[in-house]
């Protein structure tokens, strides 16, 4: 079945450094890949997404890259700030289904 793997499970960085989270997916028909940020006790919040017809998308300090051949995509956060601390989830949406398959999450801690 469909599967999305995410790593690392935890990531600690100093304020101002960059953070990279990587995901791989198994369904080659997947064509939409969102990233969600979830703070403790709050709802998952969509922060950026990418569709299979592009290789990279940027939004201020956040960027996502997609390699369809290798079936992996990554989230890049530059100039990290303490308020970036949260759990980040990647997800994939397949071409044959309309449900999101989530990764297991990455807990990002940004130390001041």
Partner 1 sequence: DTGVSQDPRHKITKRGQNVTFRCDPISEHNRLYWYRQTLGQGPEFLTYFQNEAQLEKSRLLSDRFSAERPKGSFSTLEIQRTEQGDSAMYLCASSPFPRGVLFEQYFGPGTRLTVT
Q: Please give the C-alpha separations between residue 21 and each of 24, 57, 65, 96, 109, in angstroms, as whole numbers.
A: 11, 15, 11, 26, 13
- Would you say 42 or 69 has its CB closer to partner 1? 42
Task: State the minimum distance, in angstroms, from the CB of residue 39 to partner 1.
Answer: 12
DSSP 84: G
Nearest to 104 by CA among 2, 30, 11, 3: 3
Q: Please give the C-alpha separations between residue 51 and each of 5, 15, 37, 57, in angstroms, as whole numbers.
A: 18, 30, 18, 9
- Would you say 77 or 100 has its CB closer to partner 1? 100
Task: State the minimum distance, in angstroms, from the CB of residue 57 to partner 1.
Answer: 13
Q: What residues line the site for partner 1 (CB under 8 A)?
A: 6, 31-32, 34, 36, 42-46, 49, 51, 89, 91, 93, 97-105
- Would you say 9 or 12 has its CB closer to partner 1? 9
Task: State the minimum distance, in angstroms, from the CB of residue 112 to partner 1.
Answer: 25
């Amino acid at each position: 079945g469909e599967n999305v793997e995410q790593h690392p499970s935890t990531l600690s960085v100093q304020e101002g450094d960059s953070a990279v989270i990587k995901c791989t997916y198994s369904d080659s028909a997947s064509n939409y890949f969102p990233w969600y940020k979830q703070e403790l006790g709050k709802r998952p919040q969509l922060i950026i997404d990418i569709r299979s017809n592009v290789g990279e998308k940027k939004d201020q300090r956040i960027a996502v890259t997609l390699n369809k051949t290798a079936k992996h995509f990554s989230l890049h956060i530059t100039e990290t700030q303490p308020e970036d601390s949260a759990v980040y989830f990647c997800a994939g949406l397949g071409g044959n289904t309309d449900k999101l398959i989530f990764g297991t999450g990455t807990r990002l801690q940004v130390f001041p």
